[in-house]
Structure 1
Amino acid sequence: KTLKRTDKISRCLNLGSYNYLGFAAADEYCTPRVIDSLCRFSASTCSTRVEGGTTTLHKELEECVANFVGKPAAVVFGMGYVTNSAILPVIIGRGGLIISDSLNHNSIVNGARGSGATIRVFQHNTPSHLEKVLREQIADGQPRTHRPWKKIIVVVEGIYSMEGELCKLPEIIAICKKYKAYVYLDEAHSIGAVGKTGRGVCELLGVDTADVDIMMGTFTKSFGSCGGYIAGSKELIQYLKYTCPAHLYATSISPPAAQQIISSIKVILGEDGSSRGAQKLARIRENSNFFRSELQKMGFEVLGDNDSPIMPIMLYNPAKIPAFSRECLKQNVAVVTVAFPATPLLLARARICISASHTKEDLLKALEVISQVGDMVGIKYFPAEPKKQQQDQQQQQPGKDTIKLD
């Protein structure tokens, strides 16, 4: 069937984009500084980092990121996807072993394939299976020659983007230390979104960043900008700056985008002179836990962990994908549905992303619409909790599921 433009515009409540802290909208601190950087540096450097594409903003950004994530140094790139896909082939090659979580992002998968290293996969977020794979691979050695591996890297994500699950990082680090494997942590969806001060899963789970060898993250989620970063030892970052094609040949991140990241980090840390950063972090945590709890009470199957701003609602049947999204859209609620090949064929889902900028009224409206559509489409796979029981629980535990509005 041929698609036709309707030229109709609908104003919708956005539950689809990962604007976790609300920095993608105009901000009283960030926006004036971004405009000023546009006047001072222009919209683009029109050059690579090693030629004329490194400004004072790029230097400041890398120092800011390194301090924020708790690493000695960092290097930034203009695209988050490329940060994974271009870095892995630089840090490991033939004779090396990459052990990857089975649900890692496509950028990690493609980066691992491009490295030439041997790739093995362990069951999603299962440390015991990771240890089994490590033990077997170390015992067998390289294919054909059975020589010891030159290098072993275990690649995991802080929050898995299609599951909303937190990585079991402490257990994974303990196993990697035991078998002398490097840890590569992708914090695309966790940096800025979780942790008391927004420093990601390491802060949330009480992990020392010194135990994570390579920390990767993006600026497209919590910081309202674009690009990605790698943080690690000074030796690693220096090596990447001399060898990584994404640093040597790609145009550097635009100055206004760099300024947006710097400014948003300062707001998160309270360096703007206000408590807005702390309020945003508290709000996204409260919003996420409230919304997840309410969906579960309604009878939906919701994946993920508490504090995670990602909550997949399981649809299962591929035929329910367009029905769910279109019925929500009719009531001005925009949701993202995900199907094969991003997920297995019969594990289709709607991925809800919660933001600190959502108000209580926004969330209540979304819950009402999703509940109605859920009944219509038939995706409430569990018995709903009686409303009277919900009210009694809220009276017994005042404030537990309450969202504070400033």
Structure 2
Amino acid sequence: MSGDFKLEKNGNANGKIFNGLNGHQPDLDKKAFQENFEPTPLHAAILTYLGYAIITVFGFIRDLMRKYHIEKLHAATEDPEMKDFVPLYASFESFYTRNMYNRIQDVFNRPVCSVPGATIDIVERKFSNSGWTSEYTGKVLKNVINLGSYNYLGFAENEGTCTEAAIVTAKKYGAGVCSSRQEIGNQDIHMKLEQTMADYLDVEACIIFGMGYATNSTNIPCLVDKSCLILSDGLNHASLVLGCRLSGATIRVFKHNDMEDLERKLSDGVVYGQPRTHRPWKKILIIVEGVYSMEGSIVNLPGVLALKKKYKAYLYLDEAHSIGALGDHGRGVTEYFGIHASEVDIMMGTFTKSFGAAGGYIAGNRALVEHLRAHSHSACYATSMSPPVCQQILTSLSIISGTEEGRNRIKQLAKNSKTFRQGLKKIGYIVYGNDDSPVVPTMIYLPCKIGAYGREMLQRGFAVVVVGFPATPIVESRVRFCMSAALTDEQIEKALKAAEDVARVLKLDYSADKSLSC
């Protein structure tokens, strides 16, 4: 059924929100595509491969010791009765988890016992058995500066306008709906949020979901099937990848933000059609993100739209990290480039970042939304979004779109992002991504430095997220800073000073354009 569904062009292009933007051509030389992707230094690459080689050798030795019960195995294993069948864990990822992941990334999963604002309280956790087991010491680290969460506009608060409105809503509706939208879980506040979001984006309709991840993974299969072709950016989020696989469509991956590679695959798709039969594809769907959460890069939206129109394809845009964070009014990457939202066939986004809430949405023309409302598993079977969460989104959205406070938050986020990114570059870090992106990935490379970086920053009073394989390529481990409008100039300055100290300790001044002398 999904393969027969036709996406109609949204005619709602009256420009009531985008007045002054329609027809505006962004300065592409300054806007995007001049992203920072400095090549990995040769010595760092050699040491990284050497480090993983040593860890791998010792991993095999330890696996052998575990086999003969010389060392205790803490990983999950199959029942003895199943040992002659296919093992539950039989991949390199399992080997990596047993012998590397829990050791080099031992700063994960430290419980936070406060609102995830500019500062957080973290429960101290002591790890043992090479990271497999842990215990809580009872000590709480107070007022740790938060450089890792997606609280882009600072709405993750436990006081203020949003919180007060959410409390009132909780008293009226309760905390949970206890039913799906298709049964008795469709409340007036859900419909109000959908209409408000559609008006904000200036599209015909919108549908909301209780989980951002499921917004992608359960809705893409409603739009394409085995007779369709998906062209997916090589750095798309796991939720998009899962949704593509569940759809049964043929998936071809193009190089990240590479318009030449995308056009080559579009051309092949049009010329050669489906495998074996060579019949034309029923639909060709291009899937990209606005801001890429692990690279900090911004999609080449004008280039993608030009190719979409040329080859009569459809475009699915994931604005999870760009809605609220980009554009003068926070309307995402479309506003950032001066492009009306009606140019994009499927507008997807989440409320878990800039709005300080939970859930996701898909917006576009009314035919699209009504199709999803009838066929999406998330719409039919998942429990409705909690009313206080709806109110949190509505209140934050009203602040973003119509008040001086909202504009100031957007400006502060942009200022913090640029200041922090430029400060890291001056220190000598290799920093990836676009200068306007609130996601600031900084390269670590060596596996032994992943956990060490997180610990060193925590000792200096900063909570950061360190990331390694399999979330990144095996030689591109990094720390991913996420900026927030809630961070003050003083906190940004302190964070840069701490980052400089840690760079000296761990020798992280990899950049060829560095000014730091270790």
Structure 2 match to 1:227 = 359
Structure 2 match to 1:403 = none
Structure 1 match to 2:311 = 179
Residues 59-138 of structure 1: pairs in structure 2 closer than 5 A: 59-138=191-270
Instruction: Tell me the distance in 2 between the aligned counterparts of 1:127 and 1:386.
Output: 36
Structure 1 match to 2:136 = 5
Q: 1:259 and 2:388 equivalent?
A: no
Q: Deviations over 1:66-122 (max 9, x none)?
A: 111221100000000000000000110010000000000000000000000000000
Amino acid at match of 2:398: K
User: Does the 8 Å CA contact 2:428/2:516 hold for their aligned counterparts?
Assistant: no
Paired residue secondary structure (1:6): strand
Structure 2 gaps of 5+ residues are 1-128
Q: 1:275 and 2:407 equivalent?
A: no
Paired residue secondary structure (1:10): strand
Structure 1 gaps of 5+ residues are 388-406
Residues 337-356 of structure 1: pairs in structure 2 closer than 5 A: 337-356=466-485
TM-score with structure 2 setting the length: 0.73
Q: 1:51 and 2:183 equivalent?
A: yes
Match of 1:39 among 165, 168, 171: 171
Instruction: Tell me the distance in 2 between the aligned counterparts of 1:228 and 1:344.
Output: 28
Instruction: Tell me the distance in 2 between the aligned counterparts of 1:292 and 1:27.
Output: 30
Q: 1:25 and 2:154 equivalent?
A: no
Distance apart, 1:386 and its partner CA = 7.5
Amino acid at match of 1:263: T
Instruction: Tell me the distance in 2 between the aligned counterparts of 1:65 and 1:183.
Output: 20
Q: 1:310 and 2:442 equivalent?
A: no
Deviating 4+ runs (over 4 angstroms): none
Instruction: Tell me the distance in 1 between the aligned counterparts of 2:135 and 2:363.
Output: 46
Amino acid at match of 2:320: A
Paired residue secondary structure (1:357): coil
CA RMSD in angstroms comes to 1.1
Instruction: Tell me the distance in 1 between the aligned counterparts of 2:471 and 2:363.
Output: 28
Structure 1 match to 2:337 = 205
Structure 1 match to 2:92 = none
User: Does the 8 Å CA contact 2:413/2:438 hold for their aligned counterparts?
Assistant: yes
Instruction: Tell me the distance in 2 between the aligned counterparts of 1:112 and 1:5.
Output: 40
Match of 2:414 among 275, 285, 307: 285
User: Percent of aligned pairs with the same residue?
Assistant: 48
TM-score with structure 1 setting the length: 0.93
Amino acid at match of 2:428: G
Paired residue secondary structure (1:4): strand
Instruction: Tell me the distance in 1 between the aligned counterparts of 2:248 and 2:151.
Output: 35
Instruction: Tell me the distance in 2 between the aligned counterparts of 1:70 and 1:317.
Output: 46
Q: Deviations over 1:318-356 (max 9, x none)?
A: 211001111111111100011111111110000000000
Paired residue secondary structure (2:139): coil
Paired residue secondary structure (1:250): coil
Paired residue secondary structure (2:141): coil
Instruction: Tell me the distance in 2 between the aligned counterparts of 1:80 and 1:69.
Output: 18
Instruction: Tell me the distance in 2 between the aligned counterparts of 1:277 and 1:356.
Output: 10
Match of 1:362 among 456, 476, 491: 491
Instruction: Tell me the distance in 2 between the aligned counterparts of 1:142 and 1:384.
Output: 50
Match of 1:193 among 303, 319, 325: 325
Larger Rg: 2
Paired residue secondary structure (1:5): strand
Amino acid at match of 1:7: G
Paired residue secondary structure (1:39): helix
Structure 2 match to 1:247 = 379
Q: Deviations over 1:345-381 (max 9, x none)?
A: 1100000000000001110111111111011111111
Instruction: Tell me the distance in 1 between the aligned counterparts of 2:159 and 2:200.
Output: 20
Amino acid at match of 1:96: C
User: Does the 8 Å CA contact 2:216/2:239 hold for their aligned counterparts?
Assistant: yes
Paired residue secondary structure (2:148): coil
User: Does the 8 Å CA contact 2:290/2:321 hold for their aligned counterparts?
Assistant: yes
Instruction: Tell me the distance in 2 between the aligned counterparts of 1:28 and 1:333.
Output: 25
Instruction: Tell me the distance in 2 between the aligned counterparts of 1:244 and 1:297.
Output: 48
Structure 1 match to 2:459 = 330
How many residue pairs align between the two structures?
384
Paired residue secondary structure (2:362): strand
CA separation of 1:283 and 1:27: change in aligned 2, threshold 3 A: farther
Distance apart, 1:27 and its partner CA = 4.6
Match of 1:142 among 268, 271, 274: 274
